[in-house]
Copies of this chain bind each other. A is one copy, B any other.
Amino acid sequence: MAEYTKVALDAMGGDNAPDCNVAGAIRAVKDNDRLMVYLVGREAEIRASLERCAATEGTDYDKERIIITDAPDVIENAEPPVMAIRKKKDSSIVRAMNMVKDGMCDAYVSAGSTGATLVGGQVIVGRLKGVERAPLAPLIPTKNGIALIVDCGANVDARPSMLVQFAKMGSIYMKNIIGIANPRVAIVNIGAEEEKGNALVKEAFPMLKACPEINFTGSIEARDVVEGGADVVVCDAFVGNVLLKTLEGTGNVLMTKLKEALMSSVRSKIGALLIKPALKATLKKFDASEYGGAPMLGLNGLVVKTHGSSTPKEIRNTLIQCVQFKEQNISEKIKAVIE
């Protein structure tokens, strides 16, 4: 018998829950036979969703590998996360987190509250021995590929030693999950010269340079991050958040402007029809969602946060990413370089 990767999926998380999660789970177990998914949330709602989704996704999936775990409560995005994690023991997020903590599942996935996932990752699942902080590490699209930004989580005011750990953990992820042989690690800075930077960067730079486990290539400006100048981009969570959100915001605004332009006249509308296929293919390449959600690195189990607006396809990809994470022994590899 094959050993399964067991994932606790917060069925209630995300803008289109539970259907996006349930449909994603069906697709994932169809496409990967070493995966088992626990749909955690309100049992009756999930059961109804399973019926709806089976009608569109097909019933030809292994029903024994999708299991419903009842959790009557839900943590909303607007709730203060620390309080929510402490009080809502019967929520889908807390229950799913505990399934990882108890060793019943290998991984946790949620498209719900980022705050509750970050807090729960730290206080319920817990950090691996020696890990100072568990960063949230999303993949962003770059000019001709992708890059991992470590940290975009809630850990602001990082210390230099944390950035070194981020670099090590990020390298392991990019090598073993994304398949980049010798990932280039760079630190976000406001110029390429070694003497530039704020206090954190100036202290972290020589430590990164001296670290034998990583392929450190020096400083990187935010512009060059988007151009694809590094595979693992380390920074304080505040900076990572600004980088990630500016990229998303600029992308959204430019796409809105483009659509406005295309719809502005009869002439442009005809043009739009002609360019549509080429445009779709190109923009698909500038999209990191096919790689799955953003992992928190350095925990006693895998915790993954996906976009609130995740589609079934993104949930599917994230679930299959969990199988890879387990089978590649990422946690063991992180332990080995951190301890």
Tell me whether A274 and B282 are in contact (CB under 8 A). no
From A54-62, A159-167, A236-244, the one touching the partner chain is A236-244
**A211 interface residue per 8 A CB criterion:** no
**A86 interface residue per 8 A CB criterion:** no
**A99 interface residue per 8 A CB criterion:** no
Tell me whether B278 and A274 are in contact (CB under 8 A). no
Q: How far is the CA of A121 from the CA of B236 in the complex (A)?
A: 30
Q: How far is the CB of A53 from chain B (nearest CB, A)?
A: 31
Q: Which residues of B contact A257 (CB under 8 A)?
A: 143, 282-283, 285-286
Partner of A223, one of B199, B225, B249, B275: B249
Tell me whether A267 and B258 are in contact (CB under 8 A). no
Tell me whether A226 and B197 are in contact (CB under 8 A). no
Q: How far is the CA of A271 from the CA of B256 in the complex (A)?
A: 19
Interface bin, chain A: 35 or more
**A268 interface residue per 8 A CB criterion:** yes
Q: How many copies does the complex hold?
A: 2
Q: Which residues of B contact A252 (CB under 8 A)?
A: 223, 226-227
**A3 interface residue per 8 A CB criterion:** no
Q: How far is the CA of A275 from the CA of B262 in the complex (A)?
A: 6
Partner of A247, one of B246, B256, B261: B246
Q: Which residues of B contact A258 (CB under 8 A)?
A: 258, 279, 282
**A123 interface residue per 8 A CB criterion:** no
Q: Which of A268-308 contact B (CB under 8 A)?
A: 268, 270-279, 281-283, 285-286
**A206 interface residue per 8 A CB criterion:** no
**A248 interface residue per 8 A CB criterion:** yes
Q: Which residues of B contact A275 (CB under 8 A)?
A: 261-262, 267-268, 271-272, 275
Q: How far is the CB of A268 from chain B (nearest CB, A)?
A: 4
| CB nearest to A275 among chain B residues | B271
| CB nearest to A255 among chain B residues | B254
**A91 interface residue per 8 A CB criterion:** no
Partner of A190, one of B225, B237, B286: B237
* Known pairs A156-B197, A239-B239; A278 contacts B250 (CB<8 A): no
| 6 contacts across the A-B interface (CB closer than 8 A) | A156-B190, A157-B198, A197-B238, A223-B249, A238-B239, A242-B246
